[in-house]
Structure 1
Amino acid sequence: MARTGSTDSRLIVIRGNSSSGKSHLAQAIRDARPRGIAIVGHDVLRRQILHVRDHPGALSVPYLDLSARFALDHGLHVVIEGILHSESYGPMLTSLRADHRGVTRCYRYDLDLDETLRRHRTKPLAAEVTEDSVRSWYRAADPVHGLDETSLGATVSLRSALDMVLVDAGWPFEDPDAGP
């Protein structure tokens, strides 16, 4: 594919099992840097917009790529977040990373199944998504070779993860309540 974004753009990829904290971290990044960040959420694109099942070759793969590239090419920073299994999304993510002109940082939540299920029980979605479903999606490890992902374990707090991303991306903290 063609080069995407600018030398000033940031691309942040956050992957991991269901209920690991990906969406919370993406929102925390936006809250810390409220202007100019597009969150490209796997669940939103796949489940809500396209309403398709997830598998290699699913429509959600090129749609996620297209959405991220569109935002990057129009001056936005992008946070991609989702389960994003390696066999389905790995080639697209490594291609996007290679094509991105700016700073790219990749993170993967690595939680054991017990912690994943504990976190799942705290979510409103737990009423409609069973623990058996979460178990069936769970992967003990699912690295994407070529992404150089930083592992986030169960002991990493949301604040610590946020601070790590902001520093790694070269972003100073901005207080969203400070005004323009």
Structure 2
Amino acid sequence: MRKLIIIRGNSGSGKTTLAKELQKAFGPNTLVISQDTIRREMLRVHDGNGSETIKLLKTLIEYGHSNNKVTILEGILNSKWYQSLFEKAEELYGPENIFAYYYELPFEETFKRHLTKAERNDFGERELKRWWNERDYIECIKEEVITKEIEIEEAVKMIVAKMN
């Protein structure tokens, strides 16, 4: 059965790192779809309601469903703006095959993590505060919370165990 993992949270929380580690753990035929890569690098569009990013992400999760054992979708993915994407995911995978996680970290922790990233000089604390979404949970898909106490290795083990 095809599975979808959704990893969401504020900028700098660790979503991309977790997605890449999960891809290693699941091995070949695991597709990682990064909202930032699609939006900022491929399309070069702003985020928001009706963003062109949504259309391409829908196409990519369809591709993942048709061609990959595991698809991992990661990004900030604002719950309101991306509602139609989450509905499409439910339609494709069914709720029993979606494993969704939300990084719920204090702002100070995400800023600390941001300072370790290659893009740390591209934007700073002011921008991170402006983009901040407190407890931005998806309405139609149940998400499990990942807190700052859960290290990457532990999160990987937890998610892999739930998928088996």
Smaller-chain TM-score range? over 0.9
Post-superposition offset of 1:144: 0.7
- TM-score w.r.t. the length of structure 1 is 0.86
Post-superposition offset of 1:76: 4.0
Secondary structure of the residue that 1:115 maps to in structure 2? helix
- In structure 2, C-alpha distance between the alignment counterparts of 1:163 and 1:94, rounded to whole Å: 27
- In structure 2, C-alpha distance between the alignment counterparts of 1:137 and 1:77, rounded to whole Å: 29
Match of 1:70 in 2: 63
Post-superposition offset of 1:152: 0.4
Please list every run of at least 4 consecutive aligned residues from structure 1 whose deviation after the TM superposition is greater than 2 angstroms.
Answer: none
- In structure 2, C-alpha distance between the alignment counterparts of 1:15 and 1:75, rounded to whole Å: 21
Match of 2:8 in 1: 15
**Bigger Cα Rg:** 1
Question: Please, which runs of 5 or more residues in structure 1 have no aligned partner?
Answer: 1-7, 171-180
Match of 1:173 in 2: none
Post-superposition offset of 1:98: 3.4
What is the 5 A alignment of 1:157-172? 157-170=151-164
- In structure 2, C-alpha distance between the alignment counterparts of 1:13 and 1:117, rounded to whole Å: 22
Match of 2:118 in 1: 124
In the alignment, does 2:92 pair up with 1:99? yes
Post-superposition offset of 1:72: 1.3
- TM-score w.r.t. the length of structure 2 is 0.94
Match of 2:108 in 1: 114
Match of 1:87 in 2: 80
- In structure 2, C-alpha distance between the alignment counterparts of 1:88 and 1:42, rounded to whole Å: 13
Post-superposition offset of 1:30: 0.9
- In structure 2, C-alpha distance between the alignment counterparts of 1:21 and 1:51, rounded to whole Å: 22
- In structure 2, C-alpha distance between the alignment counterparts of 1:39 and 1:151, rounded to whole Å: 20
In the alignment, does 2:147 pair up with 1:137? no
Secondary structure of the residue that 1:168 maps to in structure 2? helix
Post-superposition offset of 1:95: 3.0
Secondary structure of the residue that 2:50 maps to in structure 1? coil
Contact 1:104 1:169 in 2 (8 A): no
Q: 1:34 aligns with which of 17, 27, 39?
A: 27
Paired amino acid for 2:77: L
Flag the structure with higher helix content. 2
Contact 1:110 1:152 in 2 (8 A): yes
Deviations 1:105-153 (A, max 9, x none): 0000001111111111111111111221111111121011121000001
Identity of aligned residues (%): 26
Paired amino acid for 1:130: G
Contact 1:113 1:140 in 2 (8 A): no
